[in-house]
Amino acid sequence: MAGADLGALETELLGEIASAADLAGIEQVRVAALGKKGRVSELMATLGKMAPDERKSFGAAINQVKTKVSDALDARKALLDKAATAAKLAAERADVTLPVRPGPMGEGRIHPVSQVFDEIAEIFADMGFRIAEGPDIETDDLNFTRLNIPPEHPARQMHDTFYLKTPGTSLTGEKAPFVLRTHTSPVQIRTMMNQKPPIRIIAPGRVYRMDSDATHTPMFHQIEGLVIDETTHFGHMKWCLEEFCKAFFEVDQVKMRFRASHFPFTEPSAEVDVGAEAIGKPGQWLEILGCGMVHPKVIANCGLDPEKYQGWAFGMGLDRITMLKYGIPDLRDMFNADLRWLRHYGFSAFDVPTLAGGMST
């Protein structure tokens, strides 16, 4: 090959190198020029057949081309490498000044009723109460009879109670109608039938009544409390409920009023009002719960000796005190499963109420 051709080859190759647009392109040029079957390598292979003089001069010339091409390849590759890295960095750039995304733990919300139950559980746990539970579908016997609510009692009438079509077998073995429990009080019965005093429990849960307007929904929540031992009395109940109200409403002093009332399962019975100062509205009373000394007949109905054991109980509307504490205006909205409502009134999963850390902070 003549020197002119070598010069043309060099120009051609350098041109290809200069116009290679990316790393893949530059690699193609390299293989085509310097690879085993590349154009420069093939020229090198012709040296062996040349006369010694020719080989010397031609060899030197090819080597020069090879060096130039190889240097040009390296330089272009370095440039393209840099450009590729810069492009990648630009494409994958993270803006570290953006605010942290909440993620699933921060995105979800705890329903105010669940939050308030956790608050109440925390307060009563501190006073030595355990949490008890019972089923939503309850026998007529546990929901009413054993609580000293005889068959002719108004609470039993169809307009209040959801009866199930199929009767079942009661705890004591006889065929009995099933109801959706109308209150959490049957958990008192279950607890007294299943464990020996001393008993100190709270029992939260869903309850059902055929009722629906701005302040009533067919399903709502109650929390029941029960203390049974040999000596506990009305004074203990007053103290516990007062301590509960102070901790729950996060105030040092709370005004409370115990109004005489009637429940078939307690004697004497009372309804408790709290001074609305506790929620920043002085001058009004808010009814928050019913309570009383457990009726001796109820104690006997659970197989315990009423001569030996005595105690007290209370029942509180969970939804109602949630609305009072957190200023929620309409009960029905609580159960509409509207995400906008939940985002507004709900709590972060990190907001675990504790006595030490605060109930609602």
Enumerate binding residues for ligand DAH (CB under 6 A): 183, 185, 224, 263, 266, 290-292, 313-315
CB of 228 to ligand DAH, least distance (A): 12
Instruction: For residue 254, give every residue at least 6 positions away whose Cβ sits within 8 Å of its Cβ, in sequence order, or none.
Output: 242, 245, 246, 274, 275, 278
CB of 183 to ligand DAH, least distance (A): 3
CB of 316 to ligand DAH, least distance (A): 8
The DSSP 8-state label assigned to residue 98 in this structure reads: S
CB of 263 to ligand DAH, least distance (A): 4
- Which H/E stretch holds residue 189? helix 186-194
Give φ, ψ of 201 to 5 degrees.
-135, 155
Count of C-beta atoms within a 10 Å radius of residue 306 = 15
CB of 322 to ligand DAH, least distance (A): 17
Residue 156 or 183: the one with the smaller Cβ distance to ligand DAH is 183
Contact between 144 and 153 under an 8 Å Cβ cutoff? The reply is yes
CB of 227 to ligand DAH, least distance (A): 11
Residue 292 or 353: the one with the smaller Cβ distance to ligand DAH is 292
Q: What b/e string do you get for 221-237 counting C-beta neighbours within 10 Å, with b at 16 or more?
A: bbbbbbbbeeebeeeeb
Residue 65 or 187: the one with the smaller Cβ distance to ligand DAH is 187
Residue 109 or 181: the one with the smaller Cβ distance to ligand DAH is 181
Q: Which amino acid is at 71?
A: D
Residue 115 or 185: the one with the smaller Cβ distance to ligand DAH is 185
Residue nearest to ligand DAH (CB): 315
Give φ, ψ of 176 to 5 degrees.
-145, 150
Residue 144 or 248: the one with the smaller Cβ distance to ligand DAH is 144
